Amino acid sequence: MDNIKDEILRLARSVKAASGILAGAGTAQKNSALSAVAEEILANRDAILKENAVDISKGIRKGLSAAMVDRLSLDQNRIDNLVSCINDVVNMKDPVGEIIEMKTLPNGLKAGRMKVPVGVFAVIFESRPNVSVEVSALSIKSGNGVILRGGSDAINTSRFLCRLIRKGLVRAGLPEDCVVMVDNTSRESVLHLVKMRDYVDVVIPRGGPDLIRLVEETSVIPVIRHDMGICHTYVDESADMQMALNICLNAKVQRPGVCNAMETLLVHSLIAPSFLPEMKQIYDQAGVVLRGCEKTTRLLPGIMAATPDDWKTEYLGLTLSVKVVDSLDEAIRHINQYGSHHSDAIVTDSYQRGMRFIKEVDSAACLINASTRFNDGRELGLGAEIGISNQKLHVRGPMGLEDMMAPKYIVFGTGQVRS
């Protein structure tokens, strides 16, 4: 255990020192590093897929679900998306040093705020190796160092990608230790990492409830929680039927193992008798298993009855809870009681009900007539995301480049002294 602590302390010290150099780097040098990373990834496609195949094989032997295997899998298209994501970040405006809210005070002082890097992020994630690339790209562009601690399921892929990222940094003349990875995937590595407050400024856990709880209960460093996605879609009585069918299929099936996939479908009682049987036929073809409330099971004989635990379960697979509600009020109450404040959508032709939904549902992202799958940094124009925050301080929803900055006040004077 002491060896683990010593190794993490070494990594923390090295990234802290490197982050000071990165914070002072210009936009051109940071963009050069990112472009070099993209080139390294393209040049090493086959090697990346070989490492990923090891993780996939291990995951299958371990008995991971198909959705969980999908989370850790890369293919040619996903590698292209990683490179495209990096290029998006290259093309984004550099926020470092931007001065905002400048004003002249009655005494002649000019005061404003400058955006500066936070310092060092520690990002603790589980089975998605693309996280290492997205987080590193945002960290480099925002001038922040980052410690990556990936999970065991994708460790070979994540470790290899980190090596390519570090090579890109060196090619641009920046310290490779701007991005480091903790190889140890044990619980002890997390416990030591969240105690490094002399070197780490923010901890971001991305994973299941056990990981989140461990980090929040043991960290002495500020935590930005990127928690479960118990996401809902509510089909209102005024919804366009075909639109609702398309959205509900996409929200559940397009990629069921990710945090913004729908886990509970709420349907107004006036539309349920016509909507649910047709929706079930579509879900049956996609292999979705339904668990319904009493009203739902009457409309859809043969499906499983939902238990109270189903309403607060993140399935991360092709299982869906379904509840028939009698009003928008009931839908909102259900979401606020059982949801994880992540991504929730309404399908409606009513402007008034749509606006009530997005005002009263207490979630990081509320959508009208769109799939919950759109609550994603890249889809919302952020280039990439370090994660999706369920909490309210200091950022909520997809966390992008701007959210990795800290403000500091700057003041320009002409000799003023305070009386």
Are residues 47 and 175 both part of a single domain? Answer: yes
Least confident among 61-65, 241-245, 338-342, 392-396: 392-396
Phi then psi for residue 372, to 5 deg, are -60, -20
| CATH code for the domain of 149 | 3.40.605.10
Q: Is the pLDDT of residue 329 over 80?
A: yes
**Tokens 């293919």, located at residue:** 75
Kindly state the DSSP code that residue 374 receives in the 8-state scheme. Answer: G
Phi then psi for residue 115, to 5 deg, are -85, 125
Q: Per this entry, what is the length of the chain? A: 419
Handedness of CA 278, 284, 285, 289 (dihedral sign): positive
| CATH code for the domain of 368 | 3.40.309.10
Q: Say if 11 falls within a structural domain.
A: yes
Mean pLDDT calculated for residue range 226-239:
94
Percent of the chain with pLDDT over 90: 89
Host domain of residue 356: 231-374
Q: Say if 340 falls within a structural domain.
A: yes
- Do 233 and 248 touch, CB atoms closer than 8 A? yes
Structure token pair of residue 303:
């499906």
Structure token pair of residue 114:
């400058």
Are residues 204 and 235 both part of a single domain? Answer: no
Question: 256-305, pLDDT tens digit by residue?
Answer: 989 999 999 999 999 999 999 999 999 999 999 999 999 999 999 999 99
Q: Is the pLDDT of residue 356 over 60?
A: yes
Structure token pair of residue 24:
């002072």
Are residues 344 and 251 both part of a single domain? Answer: yes
Are residues 312 and 400 both part of a single domain? Answer: no
Q: Is the pLDDT of residue 145 over 90?
A: yes
Are residues 257 and 323 both part of a single domain? Answer: yes
Question: 147-177, pLDDT tens digit by residue?
Answer: 999 999 999 999 999 999 999 999 999 999 9
Q: Say if 10 falls within a structural domain.
A: yes
Q: Say if 63 falls within a structural domain.
A: yes
Q: Say if 417 falls within a structural domain.
A: no
Are residues 238 and 184 both part of a single domain? Answer: no
Task: Kindly report each contact of residues 326-332 with a partner whose C-beta sits within 8 Å and lies 24 or more positions away, as own/partner.
Answer: 326/268, 326/269, 327/268, 328/234, 328/236, 328/268, 328/353, 328/356, 328/357, 331/232, 331/234, 331/266, 331/268, 331/357, 332/356, 332/357, 332/360, 332/361
- The total number of structural domains in the chain stands at 2
Q: Say if 211 falls within a structural domain.
A: yes
Are residues 193 and 316 both part of a single domain? Answer: no
CB within 8 Å of 368: residues ≥ 6 apart: 345, 346, 348, 354, 357, 358
pTM equals 0.89
- Supply the pLDDT for residue 5: 94
Separation CA 57–CA 79 (nearest Å): 19
Are residues 264 and 192 both part of a single domain? Answer: no
Are residues 406 and 337 both part of a single domain? Answer: no
End-to-end Cα, the chain, rounded Å: 57
Are residues 167 and 275 both part of a single domain? Answer: no
Are residues 291 and 405 both part of a single domain? Answer: no
Q: Say if 379 falls within a structural domain.
A: no
Are residues 14 and 108 both part of a single domain? Answer: yes
Separation CA 91–CA 379 (nearest Å): 15
Count of helices and strands (H, E) across the chain: 14, 16
Band of residue 1 on the pLDDT scale cut at 50, 70, 90 = low
Q: Is the pLDDT of residue 410 over 60?
A: yes
Q: Say if 262 falls within a structural domain.
A: yes
- Supply the pLDDT for residue 393: 78
Q: Which of 219, 225, 247 is nearest to 234 (CA)?
A: 247
- 366-398: burial string, b at 16+ Cβ within 10 Å, e else: bbbbbbbbebbbbeeebbbbbbbbbeeeebbbb
Higher pLDDT, residue 225 or 8: 8
